[in-house]
Amino acid sequence: MKLYSLILLTAFGLFCKGQESLQNKNPFVVVLGTLQDGGSPHMGCEKECCKNPDVSRKVVSLGIIDPVSNKKFLSEATPDFVAQTSMLKALLPSSANKLPDGIFLTHAHIGHYAGLMFLGKEAMNSKAVPVYAMPKMKSFLENNGPWSQLVSLNNIQIKPLSDGNWENISPSLRVKPILVPHRDEFSETVGFIIEGPHKKLLFIPDIDKWEKWRTDIVSLIKEVDHALIDGTFFSAAEVGNRNITEIPHPLVQESMQLFDSLSAKEKEKIVFIHFNHTNPLLNEQSEEARLVKSKGFRIAGINLRIAL
């Protein structure tokens, strides 16, 4: 009997270990930055928010990693692209490629694409790094210096995306762009749905007010497992003298109201990200951060990992 129990226990132990290593092989997303385009400390800001800046803060970016196919991707090429690329590399040491196996771009605002400059002749002089871009974003890069030189010298190779169509990036990962309303001066703007074998993650770092979107965000949240969404400003109080209508992001206060009727399970999917330097959610101890968490929502922090 004793021997029988021992065999059972060993078998159970092996099974658990197997499950564990299987789980470790799951693709995952990791937050490599949480800030709005201008970063923190913010140019010209003499307010309290930028007095003692936390140097680990980075501009909004996600790493997407598939340990099985040994592939790693970035969403966004931010002004912190160099540091974020090495953070990404460290997360998949088995990959010989120093650079991401692909870079997804949401739109042509500086926080989301300007980091591509480090791939050029003056810096890395990379070879054909795949850059996934929507049609206007693609033609913006192809037709305007210095980006056009990245294309002509084959530092980057643009992979065209189209609204609502899945792009397979590994045997177990795919990405779908969805158009969102935003100040589209140079390109359209998209969010992404990133899907692994088990979970779907929605990423919308920048969007104008939710009601300007034809898609119903509340229904979309029900279709995904995690939603990393625009939390640029907590409230209008942060905007100071600037006209709030010129910066029409959904305020976190408004989003919480919109999502108020969702169940606790649905609320837990929502992770605010893309914080302006003024946003009190950057300080986990702030009253506002505590309020957001007490209502059942989450706040993105650097290195947050989400299994797919």
Binding residues vs Zn ion (CB under 5 A): 37, 42, 45, 47, 49-50, 109, 111, 206, 277
Neighbours of 268 (CB within 10 A): 14
Task: For residues 220 and 52, give the distance between their C-alpha atoms in angstroms, rounded to a whole number.
Answer: 38
Which of 133/173 has CB closer to Zn ion? 133
Which of 51/214 has CB closer to Zn ion? 51
Size of the chain in residues: 308
Distances (CA, A) of 65 to 106, 137, 145, 162, 299: 18, 24, 31, 22, 21
Report in angstroms how near the CB of residue 11 gets to Zn ion at its nearest: 52
Which of 42/226 has CB closer to Zn ion? 42
Contact 80/115 with Cβ under 8 angstroms? Answer: yes
C-alpha closest to that of 106 among 97, 115, 95, 98: 115
Both structure tokens of 261: 């009727």
Which of 66/208 has CB closer to Zn ion? 208
Report in angstroms how near the CB of residue 206 gets to Zn ion at its nearest: 4
Which of 46/287 has CB closer to Zn ion? 46
Angle at 259 between CA 295 and CA 279, to 5 degrees: 65
Which of 101/206 has CB closer to Zn ion? 206
Neighbours of 68 (CB within 10 A): 13
Report in angstroms how near the CB of residue 12 gets to Zn ion at its nearest: 49
Neighbours of 261 (CB within 10 A): 9
